[in-house]
């Protein structure tokens, strides 16, 4: 639907109009009970939903409203990246407390910044009052052969995009009312969903992928469970922001980098040149009776550093 259905009267609709004015051509087909999207023939639909909640994923003052909107949307898009899917459209459910109403335009601008990264429209959403600010972004994409967590095979190599540890470092500093170093703060506030990178890697034979939201080791555990393999990770190799170390990098969550398994023969040497993003081999996949993650540090086996879990 190229145009937007005219909206009726009411305060909620005034607020929706304010959002739509901010989004401009980034929002399309809004105003019906549901959005209508054409799915390319022969492709499968890939969908995911992801919530960013005040006091859980961020605190007021840690990020600008624009960064909060950006980050919530980028985090959701990262799930499409993990599947090597091509984005198709986005739904935004906003739970907006009165205390945040003045910032809604800036939050919308941040959502728009993330939408600009993937070039697909916001096709719908929901707006409700709330006590805590919450942004639930549903992303829809398509893929002919979606990349799953379950395809890693013994003998594959384990790779990671980007530089880890920044979000963990930034949250630790902010929790102590300290200013994080600039690199860590930027990695926390402006994660980049690795959408094009993932499709490039899938085309070069990637066998499995997951985006790092719970922490490298925790997410490696999810991939290991899904693939029924063991992931042996050499912590010494982990790419990390300057202010952290490899141990911090192994446990830092909400990175939105990709952990990918690839056959040893995969031709990925020109990844960094193609994307200007670090791409690092960090371990290998082995067969295992009990799926899981093994970590080594300076040649010795160590207990894998744990990630963050809202419910543990």
- Say whether residue 222 binds a second copy (CB under 8 A): yes
Of 52 and 163, CB closest to a second copy: 52
Using CA atoms, how far residue 160 sits from 38, 157, 215, 277, in Å, is 33, 10, 12, 10
Of 198 and 241, CB closest to a second copy: 198
Burial degree of 24 (CB within 10 A; 0-12, 13-18, 19+): exposed
Of 115 and 241, CB closest to a second copy: 115
Q: Which residues pair with 140 in a beta bridge?
A: 47, 89
- Say whether residue 310 binds a second copy (CB under 8 A): yes
- Say whether residue 36 binds a second copy (CB under 8 A): yes
Of 49 and 175, CB closest to a second copy: 49
- Residues between 78 and 117 that touch a second copy (CB under 8 A): 78-80, 82-83, 85, 89, 91-93, 95
- Say whether residue 2 binds a second copy (CB under 8 A): no
- Say whether residue 304 binds a second copy (CB under 8 A): no
DSSP 8-state class, residue 128: E
Of 112 and 141, CB closest to a second copy: 141
Kindly state the smallest distance separating residue 265's Cβ from a second copy, in Å: 25
Counting residues that bind a second copy (by CB under 8 A) gives 82
DSSP 136-184: EEEEEEEESS---STT--TT-EEEEES-BSHHHHHHHHHHTT-PPPHHH
Pairing of strands 122-129, 86-96: parallel
Burial degree of 263 (CB within 10 A; 0-12, 13-18, 19+): middle
- Residues between 153 and 172 that touch a second copy (CB under 8 A): none
Q: Give the contact letters, 52-71, x = binds to a second copy (CB under 8 A), - = no.
A: -x-xxx--------------
Interface with a second copy (CB under 8 A), residue from 110, 141, 167, 251: 141
Residue 34 CB neighbours (<10 A)? 9
- Say whether residue 182 binds a second copy (CB under 8 A): no
């Amino acid at each position: 639907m190229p145009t937007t259905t005219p909206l009726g009267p009411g305060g909620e609709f005034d607020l929706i109009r304010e959002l739509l004015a901010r989004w401009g051509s980034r929002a399309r087909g809004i105003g019906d009970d549901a959005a209508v999207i054409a799915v390319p023939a022969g492709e499968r639909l890939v969908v995911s939903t992801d919530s960013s909640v005040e006091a859980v994923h961020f605190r007021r003052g840690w990020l600008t409203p624009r960064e909060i909107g950006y980050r919530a949307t980028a985090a959701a898009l990262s799930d499409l990246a993990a599947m090597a899917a091509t984005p198709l459209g986005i739904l935004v459910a906003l739970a907006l407390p009165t205390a945040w109403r003045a910032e809604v335009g800036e939050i919308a601008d941040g959502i728009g910044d993330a939408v600009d990264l993937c070039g697909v429209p916001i096709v719908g959403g929901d707006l409700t009052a709330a006590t805590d600010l919450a942004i639930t972004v549903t992303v829809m994409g398509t893929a002919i052969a979606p990349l799953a967590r379950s395809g890693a095979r013994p003998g594959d190599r384990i790779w990671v995009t980007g530089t880890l540890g920044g979000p963990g470092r930034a949250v630790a500093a902010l929790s102590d009312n300290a200013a994080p170093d600039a690199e860590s703060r930027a990695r926390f506030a402006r994660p980049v969903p690795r959408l094009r990178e993932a499709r490039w890697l899938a085309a070069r034979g990637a066998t499995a992928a997951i985006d790092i939201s719970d922490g490298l080791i925790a997410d490696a555990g999810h991939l290991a469970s899904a693939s029924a393999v063991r992931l042996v990770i050499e912590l010494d190799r982990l790419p990390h922001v300057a202010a952290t170390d490899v141990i911090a990098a192994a446990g830092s969550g909400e990175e939105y980098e990709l952990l990918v398994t690839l056959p040893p023969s995969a031709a990925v040497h020109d990844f960094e040149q193609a994307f200007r993003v670090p791409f690092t081999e960090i371990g290998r996949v082995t067969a295992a009776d009990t799926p899981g993650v093994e970590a080594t540090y300076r040649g010795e086996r160590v207990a894998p550093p744990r990630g963050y879990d809202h419910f543990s």
